[in-house]
Structure 1
């Protein structure tokens, strides 16, 4: 990931929190079939391994797993809040008009080898944990065990699991850190006053600077 030094995030806890709060990641790999990408929900086990381990599953009909099974490194992209930054947000523009638009954003990239999982027991565990994660907080959470066992067996045969032990983490936290405190405040206030909820999310992250 291209990432200027002022915007690099190295705090492991903050990187993990970002990953845990990302509902849909992007799995990218390159193999015999070329460059492939799949959007998928994942489980992040922060205490497993040096940088954590990620679990998920793909449809068996998705041929990406065949390349993953051949080995090599894969990339999981965890996107975050983002916002367009207008030069008009900078109070310094009055004295120095040499400014251009940019984009602020949060992102984490996790790299590692992928183990493809076919056995029904570990697959069921991944599906159950993913479901429990997203059903929590509901007044009547649905459970995998609620599905008929023969139907569930058929569904498990239609997917493969993945396990990615993270060997490398990169974080981008581009929040106008290369600007003056006055300009940072201008960007934060402008995004906070926006009618776009994504702009508001980015402004909330800027309050932590």
Structure 2
């Protein structure tokens, strides 16, 4: 289970779903007869299918991981986002008592569910259409699956295997200094925003600031 103190928990489905869609890729992990297996995959989330949603992706057929999947294979998918080192030097508490230590801030989502391999060509084509739309939609001239020659596409489809995960549990964790004092959190935002600081990270600063306001 994910270690997730209450201060860091994110339970809003819309925020969690948006995070998964924005990250796009996740680490798919299973425990099989040959030990732990992992593959980094591009995912499409279908939040309104089933009770908790469904994730779909595809393997290269040459990746033996898909062959390890059995009926009712339990799996874990980890989506990781912005993260960075937090120095104690940014905390007001350092000057007050010195009772501070370094830490790491990060955002992540864990998905647990049941994984199934899919070899149906129609299923795969629908997945690739959705996956392409997800990543091409912001381009001025989006690429479409039909832009590729049919015979070429048929060969490509034979080279992949689908993955469907029925989600049983989904959990978000945004560790953004919520367990610190208001002064210390402000110091983190200022420090991360400082272009002269070796740990400058404006994206992480914005996330800490957003969590402060919440």
The TM tier, using the shorter chain, reads over 0.9
Once the two structures are TM-superposed, the CA of residue 154 in structure 1 deviates from its matched residue by 1.1
Match of 1:203 in 2: 205
**Matched-pair contact (CA < 8 Å) for 1:124–1:156:** yes
Instruction: Verify the 8 A CA contact 1:58 1:159 in the aligned structure 2.
Output: yes
Note closer, same or farther for the CA distance 1:48–1:197 as it changes in structure 2 (3 Å cut).
Answer: farther
Q: Is the 8 A contact 1:82 1:198 kept in 2?
A: no
How far apart, CA to CA, are the structure 1 residues paired with 2:47 and 2:192? 32
CA contact (8 A) 2:191 2:200 kept: no
Give the distance between the partners of 1:151 and 1:13, measured in 2 at CA: 38
Q: 2:137 matched to 1:127?
A: no
- Alignment partners' CA distance in 1, 2:195 and 2:172: 26
Alignment check: 8 A CA contact 1:55 1:161 kept: yes
**SS of residue in 2 equivalent to 1:208:** helix
The answer to whether the 8 A contact 1:81-1:198 is kept is no
Contact in 1 for aligned 2:110/2:172 (Cα 8 Å): yes
Return closer, same or farther for 1:198/1:61 CA change in 2, 3 Å cut-off: farther
Write out the 4+ residue segments of structure 1 that deviate beyond 3 Å after TM superposition: 194-198
- Deviation (angstroms), 1:198: 7.9
* Deviation at residue 192 of structure 1 after TM alignment: 1.9
Aligned residues: 209
Structure 1: which 5+ residue stretches go unaligned? none
1:134 and 1:4 map into 2 onto residues whose CA distance is 33
Asked if 2 retains the 8 angstrom alpha-carbon contact of 1:30 and 1:67, the reply is no
Task: Indicate if the aligned counterparts of 2:115 and 2:164 stay in contact, CA closer than 8 A.
Answer: yes
Q: CA offset at residue 40 of structure 1?
A: 1.2
Output the CA distance in 2 between the equivalents of 1:118 and 1:34: 24
My pick for the range that moved more, 95-104 or 70-79, is 70-79
**What is the rounded CA distance, in whole Å, between the counterparts of 2:154 and 2:60 in structure 1?**
14
- 1:92 equivalent to 2:93? Answer yes
RMSD across aligned positions (CA): 1.6
Residue 149 in structure 1 maps to residue 156 in structure 2: no
Find out whether 1:116 has 2:145 as its counterpart. Answer: no
* Residues 78-130 of structure 1 deviation map (CA, whole Å, 9 limit, x = unaligned): 10100100000101211110111000000000010012110100001101111
Contact 1:83 1:198 in 2 (8 A): no
Does structure 2 conserve the Cα–Cα contact (< 8 Å) formed by 1:68 and 1:115?
Answer: yes
